[in-house]
Every structure is written in C-alpha cells, then in structure tokens.
C-alpha cells in the first residue's frame, strides 16, 4: 500500500540534499530513521556505561567511609541539640 504525504518545499529541498544517486524519498526517510535509531541506541549504551562508572565510584567512596566509620567510636545522641 502506497500512502501519499504532504511536505512543504523546504522539507523537500532538504530531502533532495540527502539523496544519494537516484534514491527515492522513501529510501532517504528510511535511512534517516535507521540513523536515528542507531544514535538512540548509542546514547543509551553511553548512558548505561556512565551510570556503571558512577556506581563503581560511589561504591568505592562508600567503602572508604565504612573504613573510617569503623575506626571511629561514636554513638548517636538523640537528646543532643
């Protein structure tokens, strides 16, 4: 099934600039969608990697504080102001 869509002249000119050889507008749009999906996946992977690194650093800091905390002899005084 073929569906027609309306686009303004400036969008058509931009699509024309993206065409390689005798590509159709459909091929150009499909390529843009593919590039967009690839970019989104890469961004998601980079975010996940960043969060993993942040978690490692947080764990490292927590372990350092645990070591310091275990060396200190203190108690919480609920009556203190």
> Digits of tens for pLDDT over the chain (81 positions)?
888 999 999 999 999 999 999 999 999 999 999 999 999 999 999 999 999 999 999 999 999 888 887 777 667 777 776
Q: Which candidate, 29, 30, 34, places its Cα nearest to that of 11?
A: 29
Q: Using CB atoms within 10 A of its CB, is residue 33 exposed (0-12), middle (13-18) or buried (19+)?
A: exposed
Q: Which candidate, 22, 29, 21, places its Cα nearest to that of 3?
A: 29
**What's the pLDDT score for residue 70?**
75
**What's the pLDDT score for residue 31?**
97
**What's the pLDDT score for residue 74?**
67
């Amino acid at each position: 099934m073929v569906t027609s869509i309306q686009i303004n002249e400036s969008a058509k000119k931009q699509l024309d600039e993206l065409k390689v050889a005798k590509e159709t507008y459909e091929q150009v749009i499909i390529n843009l969608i593919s590039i967009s999906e690839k970019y989104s996946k890469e961004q998601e992977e980079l975010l996940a990697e960043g969060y993993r690194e942040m978690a490692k650093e947080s764990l490292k800091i927590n372990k350092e504080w645990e070591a310091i905390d275990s060396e200190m002899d203190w108690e919480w005084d609920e009556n203190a102001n």
